[in-house]
A and B are shown apart, each in its own frame.
Chain A
Amino acid sequence: MRVEKKVEKYAKRRGWKVKARTEDGILYLEGEVPSYKEYVEIGRYAGKQKNVEGVVNRLKYKGKKEEKRKEGRNEIIGEADVVIIGGGVTGCMIARELSKYKLDIILVEKAEDVACGATKANNAMVHTGIGEKMGTLKQKLCVEGHKMYEELSKQLDFPYEKNGMWIILTKDSFADMPIPSFLGNFIARFIIPRIILRRAKKLGIPMYIVKRKELLKEEPNVTSRALVAVYSPTYGVTSPYLFTIALAENAIDNGVKIMLETEVVDMITEGGEVKEVVTDKGRIKARYVINAAGIYADKVAEMAEAREYTIHPKKGSTLIFDKDYGNYIKHSMTILKFPRTEHYKGGGAMLTLERNIQLGPTLMEVEDREDTSVKAAEIEQIFSHFSLLLPDLPRKGVIAYFAGLRAATFTEDFIIRRAKKVRNFIHVAGIQSPGLAAAPAVAKMVVGLLKESGLEMVEKEDFNPYRKANVVIRELSIEERKKMVEKDARYGKIVCRCEGVTEGEIVDAIHGKIGATNIDAIKRRTRAGMGRCQGSFCLPHVAKIISRETGIPLEKIKKNGNGSNLFVGKAKCLLEEKNEN
């Protein structure tokens, strides 16, 4: 049966009016379904069909919001060989990769800083690729990207560690499957680990099986219901924002222009080509456009008349534990449980570089592309799900929680290709996990696509692959610390007591290549406010330092972007307001 018919039939059986149409391998859905839930359901069904390269879901449903596009500004503000849309890890990695060539490059990002989208709200794992579906593009790029991290971290001076990962099977792994428990346990113990090993071998990932006894000796807090583990020693962890900032800074050093607080609102196309990228700050003439807009990639593609997919955000919420539990586990770990439930893709207890355990993430379809709220039910879900792995990890250890949105398409895999009908537009879409791990390989692939589409790429002789990070005082030896304080007394003054961040480091962040002028930007760069008091103590101090260094009045300092003002004015401002009325 033809794909369109299959999808229509699926809908009809459920009483929904859906029309499907294929063009150039893209499946377009039109009609109406009752609600967002069914909209997603049919989209997913359509995306699973063979040879579908993308699903554009135009189905209506009750309560669907009509979106208004922002107004663009008319003046020309730039001209470039390549315009990259999106300053997440994907966009910044591409910018840095392209800065090796003699090209004029502009990266536009609507937020006030780089790394403000999914890139700031993920689990920081540099996956090896073992967890991905075999044969997918994301797996291929993940395997390749992972291998490139070590070198990159040396060049760009961002933190990266191979901390390793346990994949753990327990008596609960098959408990929800309709099979007797002895059989489930047998499969968990003997079959699954071997399948994993076989795959690892194929992919060239070193992995080995660890018996229950050994596992529990190494990780005594893991559930005693554990049966066996498969260990992946090369599994990595990084800091996604420090990595992205490093990429952006190095790209700037090599001539890339980064425009922050610049939102792409439209594109001017002519004869199957994008001519100009229209932003809320003005127009940019572009020879090539790369769409790395994350959760908004479909909207951006539509502006270029190249909509070949629809994104349906999948939220993931994660709990973060106090450093006090940093030795509760030695390595990151995940539990394999079948069948894969609605609420989890995998996840587990993952250690950050600073040894905070991250527990999660959840998986939840959300309609709102800005919905990064963590719901009470999610917190409970995380505790109940991962109690199967670490039954005694105490609730009181949690210091923060956050949610990020996965930019999922209905076909699930990354979509990295030239647009079907627009000659100079390249999609880098559907970059959900393992988008961080894969980023270096994604960028290489984009270089190939640009070459293919006729962009002449000549390597620069003076490309500088190196970039130096700002000093991190808490990581220095006492002797080194002493030297730093001798140079500048501000490296002695601790501002964030939980994380031991000094005034000097905050000043460095403010005056960095991409200057941090709000609380969250400082936090990402220095960790000030990331500890157990969550900034209760240091916020006033950090705000004052920003004000002093930048001249922004204290009462105007923001938490992050526009609209996030921390204060309503100077003290007494409300009394004065009242007197005037």
Chain B
Amino acid sequence: MKTDVAVIGGGPAGLAAAMEAKKHAKVTLIERNEELGGILQQCIHHGFGNFIFGEALTGPEYAEHFIEALEGVDVLLNTTVLEIDKNKRMLLSGPDGVFEMEAKAIILAMGCRERTRTQIFIPGTRPAGVYTAGTAQRLINIEGVMPGKHIVILGSGDVGLIMARRLTLEGAKVEGVYEIMPKPGGLTRNIVQCLHDFDIPLHLSHTVVEIVGKKRLEGVFVAKVDKNFKPIEETKRFVPCDTLILAVGLIPENELTKKTGIELDSVTAGPVVDEGMETSMEGIFACGNVVHVHDLVDDVSLSAIIAGREAAKHANGEKTERRKIKVKAGENVRYVVPQIINGRDMEEITFYFRVKNEMRNVVTRLIVDGEVRKEKRELIVKPPEMVRLKVKGELVKNANSISIEVKKVA
């Protein structure tokens, strides 16, 4: 099989990328699940698309907007991409068989997976009743089963908060949300709407230190942590519960990327991309959570549109510059995407970045060849919230050094 642009993954990233690419090229969209929409299908709460559509849609509604626009795209469901080689030949496995597909350009949009209890080293037994938040969400919203009755949630990011509300609305008792950091991870609006409105206690600077239960979870030990996040033994106490929900972070799903030999960024755990979302391997692009974990689906869609457009250009044989200028993460910046500027012709470029420390009254700055070329005031920046800086493409097109920094306003 041959195609111009192959999109791997049918979540919001893959959908938007396919929708854009199909305007200029033949597109095949490959999704391993039985439905399109990725994680959105199970997010039945409102809160998607404020930015792009100007209204708060549910996940499935948001996805529907894109799925409807897919006409002309070849969609392969229940089909997994097993391998990609340097010549952009892929090996696929699905109900139609195991077969090769050759593409002129590939877009990686595999999303991310959730961190498990092991990755944060929670000791104890291995009973039934320990779920990652996404799994629990899928169980309730899609499979129609209830994971438990008495719930402890670890992690106060938006995912954990939304699950606290969802489980409460389903009749479960959420005993508490525990967060190892001294500040909540999620948006303030979610703290109010998901916890306060339901009287769910939030325990900051706390973590789960042991899982107890032989067959089904019987409870967890929780403890307060010190400045270095070490549990304080004297504060250890037992919280009976039958379910532990882990909302402790997402990791970009880059098994395929790694196997293909594409360069990864050790901070984002995603591929290094340029302003056109092209990876270190020519003709292979990436977008969405596979690149770095996003808070808002709108950003996923926007970056995916760029990937779709640039991938189609590549498939059509357009040549691009490859200046390979690194974007440095300057003061109080943990990482920046894109990591590389190649000097493509682009009207606008948005730098997405996360800060190391919370700061109020700051300016975020783009520095090109030692000069501040763009500044933006922010009232507050926090590590859990992605920051954007939109600049004109011409500002960086011919740059020799680029960095992004966050500075306190004097």
Known A494-B80, A540-B138; contact A373-B123, beta-carbon cutoff 8 A: yes
Known A497-B32, A575-B171; contact A486-B146, beta-carbon cutoff 8 A: no
- A542-574: CB near B (< 8 Å → 1, else 0) gives 011000000000110011111111111111111
Distance in angstroms from A335 CB to nearest chain B CB is 23
Stretch of A142-150, A179-187, A374-382 that contacts chain B: A374-382
Stretch of B94-102, B181-189, B310-318, B361-369 that contacts chain A: B94-102
In the docked arrangement, what's the CA distance between A494 and B139, Å? 19
A137 interface hit (Cβ, 8 Å): no
- Is B128's CB under 8 angstroms from A559's CB? yes
- Is B139's CB under 8 angstroms from A567's CB? yes
Q: Which residue of B lies closest to A401 (CB)?
A: B118
Q: Which residue of B lies closest to A481 (CB)?
A: B98
A500 interface hit (Cβ, 8 Å): yes
- Is B95's CB under 8 angstroms from A571's CB? no
A398 interface hit (Cβ, 8 Å): yes
A467 interface hit (Cβ, 8 Å): no
- Is A564's CB under 8 angstroms from B128's CB? yes
In the docked arrangement, what's the CA distance between A560 and B135, Å? 18
Chain B 163-207 interface residues, beta-carbon cutoff 8 Å to A: 170-172
Known A400-B118, A540-B138, A575-B171; contact A569-B145, beta-carbon cutoff 8 A: yes
Chain B binding surface SS class = mixed
Residue numbers in A under 8 Å from B99 (CB-CB)? 482
Residue numbers in B under 8 Å from A485 (CB-CB)? 93, 95-98
A399 interface hit (Cβ, 8 Å): yes
Residue numbers in B under 8 Å from A373 (CB-CB)? 123-125, 210-212
**8 Å CB contact of B127 from A486, A564, A570:** A564
- Is A539's CB under 8 angstroms from B145's CB? no
- Is A533's CB under 8 angstroms from B215's CB? no
Chain B 119-142 interface residues, beta-carbon cutoff 8 Å to A: 119, 121, 123-129, 131-132, 134-135, 138-140, 142
B374 interface hit (Cβ, 8 Å): no
- Is B143's CB under 8 angstroms from A569's CB? no
**8 Å CB contact of A492 from B98, B126, B135, B255:** B98
In the docked arrangement, what's the CA distance between A238 and B170, Å? 45
A460 interface hit (Cβ, 8 Å): no
In the docked arrangement, what's the CA distance between A478 and B94, Å? 13
What is the interface size of chain B, counting residues whose CB is below 8 A from a CB of the partner?
A: 55
- Is B148's CB under 8 angstroms from A568's CB? yes
- Is A482's CB under 8 angstroms from B125's CB? no
Distance in angstroms from A271 CB to nearest chain B CB is 40
- Is B135's CB under 8 angstroms from A573's CB? no
Residue numbers in A under 8 Å from B124 (CB-CB)? 373-374
In the docked arrangement, what's the CA distance between A451 and B148, Å? 54
Residue numbers in A under 8 Å from B149 (CB-CB)? 568, 574
In the docked arrangement, what's the CA distance between A570 and B93, Å? 33
**8 Å CB contact of B144 from A398, A498, A537, A570:** A570
B262 interface hit (Cβ, 8 Å): no
Q: Which residue of B lies closest to A489 (CB)?
A: B95
- Is B93's CB under 8 angstroms from A555's CB? no
In the docked arrangement, what's the CA distance between A560 and B116, Å? 20
- Is B215's CB under 8 angstroms from A372's CB? no
Q: Which residue of B lies closest to A493 (CB)?
A: B78
B147 interface hit (Cβ, 8 Å): yes
- B291-306: CB near A (< 8 Å → 1, else 0) gives 0000000000000000
A577 interface hit (Cβ, 8 Å): yes
B214 interface hit (Cβ, 8 Å): yes
- Is A574's CB under 8 angstroms from B138's CB? no
In the docked arrangement, what's the CA distance between A244 and B148, Å? 34
In the docked arrangement, what's the CA distance between A183 and B212, Å? 47
A396 interface hit (Cβ, 8 Å): yes
A402 interface hit (Cβ, 8 Å): yes
**8 Å CB contact of A570 from B32, B79, B146:** B146
Distance in angstroms from B144 CB to nearest chain A CB is 5
- Is A571's CB under 8 angstroms from B140's CB? yes
Distance in angstroms from A117 CB to nearest chain B CB is 14
Known A568-B149, A574-B149; contact A536-B127, beta-carbon cutoff 8 A: no
- Is B123's CB under 8 angstroms from A379's CB? yes
B64 interface hit (Cβ, 8 Å): no
14 extra interchain contacts, Cβ-Cβ under 8 A, other than A395-B121, A493-B78, A497-B32?
Answer: A370-B214, A373-B211, A375-B123, A396-B119, A402-B126, A492-B97, A533-B113, A544-B143, A563-B214, A563-B216, A565-B128, A566-B129, A574-B146, A574-B170
User: Which 7 pairs of residues, A with B, have the shortest CB-CB distance?
Assistant: A574-B171, A563-B215, A559-B128, A489-B95, A564-B215, A575-B171, A494-B80
Q: Which residues of B contact A (CB under 8 A)?
A: 32, 78-80, 82, 91, 93-99, 113-114, 116-119, 121, 123-129, 131-132, 134-135, 138-140, 142-149, 170-172, 209-212, 214-216, 242, 255, 258
**Listed A/B pairs (21) with beta-carbon separation below 8 Å:** A372-B126, A374-B123, A376-B210, A378-B123, A379-B121, A398-B121, A402-B126, A478-B98, A482-B98, A485-B95, A492-B78, A492-B96, A532-B113, A540-B139, A555-B145, A559-B215, A560-B128, A561-B215, A563-B214, A567-B148, A570-B145
